[in-house]
Amino acid sequence: MSLKKRYNRINLITKQWKLKKTHSLITRYKIDPKFFNEFKFYIKLYISKALNIDFNINDKIFIKNIDKARNNRLNITPNGAIVPKREFHLEYNLVLRSWCELVRQISKKKPKLLKLFRITPNIRIKFGKELNDNKNRELSTSHPHSDAWVEGPWGMNCYIPFFGDTKNNNLQFYEPINEFNESYMAISPSYKKMQWVMDYYKKIKKIIPLVGHVNLSDYAAIHNTFRNPNCGTRVSIDTTLFVGNYKPHKDRLKEYTDKIPNIGLNHFVDSGQYEKDKPADKVSTYSHYTSKVLKLIKF
């Protein structure tokens, strides 16, 4: 029974990193508002290049610009993740510089607890209306899912809503009803095929991830994108990290480093492909969309 271990791990990071626990499987870190605004600025700059739209400091206007560009799919996956390309990987590295700094801030009271750091967070646009090609995908994040199904059982999710309609377009979490069985966290190439697990889960009410906070949750907290009727678009970051002596699925290991690199200072991430290139494949079903081409370069 690993559920107890999972609860203990949430308690441990909450205590050591001085977080705020909101559920036995979920805890959160409040980002310094000044830092958050700067981070948001870089994300907007990155999105403006990826979608070829005007930058605007005003979130509402900027979301409108994003919505107008929803058919520009050159650099967007069906799940709404932005794929970095060389034409704008300088802007991508600004985002990653903030990302590295943020994780350093979160873990600074006990850095050793963070065992694996992922250099490729997903910067995601969740349009108010789902993109058509995502609707029936086996790995659509609109299906309730555990990232354990593609990453192995022991990681943790890290989710930060940045701007847009985060009230009506956000994440819904679920928890085990009674007994927890390890088979709920089995590996699978399809979220759809794992929907049987939902018979043993129920919705967690009243926990809506807040803007400006890093929401950390155990893989046992199943989740999906929820959209209320007529909701607007939302921009967020989601990724995974590993606390404790656990490793991800072998096809994903190379997406992680054991120390947080100083990207933008003495490291640079080469996105490895141009916009005009045929989009790179993934190493395997379990891998990230950047897995074949992206490189971390140390100066």
Interface segment toward Fe ion; rule CB under 5 A; list 24-32, 141-149, 177-185, 245-253: 141-149
Q: Which residues contact 246 (CB under 8 A, 6 or more apart)?
A: 115, 152, 153, 154, 155
Q: Based on the shown chain and the rule CB under 5 A, indicate whether residue 218 belongs to the binding site for Fe ion.
A: no
Question: One symbol per residue from 232 to 251: x for binding Fe ion (CB under 5 A), - otherwise; what is it?
Answer: --------------------
Q: Compute the least distance from the CB of residue 57 to Fe ion, in Å.
A: 30
Q: Compute the least distance from the CB of residue 157 to Fe ion, in Å.
A: 6
Q: Compute the least distance from the CB of residue 188 to Fe ion, in Å.
A: 13
Is the CB of 147 or the CB of 175 nearer to Fe ion?
147
Question: How large is the greatest C-alpha to C-alpha distance in the chain, in angstroms?
Answer: 51
* Closest to 193 in 3D by CA, of 135, 143, 248, 142: 143
**Residue nearest Fe ion, CB atom distance:** 147
Residue-by-residue DSSP string for 142-168: TS-B-THHHH-TT-EEEEEEEEESTTT
Is the CB of 69 or the CB of 116 nearer to Fe ion?
116
Contact by Cβ (8 Å): 87, 49: yes
Q: Compute the least distance from the CB of residue 171 to Fe ion, in Å.
A: 8
Q: Based on the shown chain and the rule CB under 5 A, indicate whether residue 147 belongs to the binding site for Fe ion.
A: yes
Q: Compute the least distance from the CB of residue 130 to Fe ion, in Å.
A: 16
Backbone φ and ψ for 284, nearest 5 degrees, come out as -155, 175
# binding residues, Fe ion (CB under 5 A): 1
CA distances from 67 to 1, 35, 62, 234 (A): 45, 26, 9, 10
Q: Compute the least distance from the CB of residue 48 to Fe ion, in Å.
A: 26
Q: Based on the shown chain and the rule CB under 5 A, indicate whether residue 91 belongs to the binding site for Fe ion.
A: no
Q: Which residues contact 183 (CB under 8 A, 6 or more apart)?
A: none
Q: Which helix (H) or strand (E) element contains residue 111?
A: none
Interface segment toward Fe ion; rule CB under 5 A; list 119-127, 140-148, 165-173, 244-252: 140-148
Alpha carbons 145 and 157: distance in angstroms, whole number: 12
Is the CB of 25 or the CB of 263 nearer to Fe ion?
25
Q: Compute the least distance from the CB of residue 116 to Fe ion, in Å.
A: 17
Is the CB of 65 or the CB of 77 nearer to Fe ion?
77
Interface segment toward Fe ion; rule CB under 5 A; list 142-150, 164-172, 188-196, 226-234: 142-150
Is the CB of 101 or the CB of 147 nearer to Fe ion?
147
Is the CB of 204 or the CB of 263 nearer to Fe ion?
204
Q: Compute the least distance from the CB of residue 150 to Fe ion, in Å.
A: 9
Q: Is 194 exposed, middle or buried (0-12, 13-18, 19+ CB in 10 A)?
A: buried
Helix ranges, the chain (H): 3-16, 33-51, 59-68, 89-107, 148-151
* Closest to 157 in 3D by CA, of 1, 6, 275, 4: 6
Is the CB of 44 or the CB of 288 nearer to Fe ion?
288
Is the CB of 99 or the CB of 219 nearer to Fe ion?
219
67 torsion bin: left (phi>0), alpha (psi -120 to 50), beta (else): alpha
Binding site for Fe ion (CB under 5 A): 147
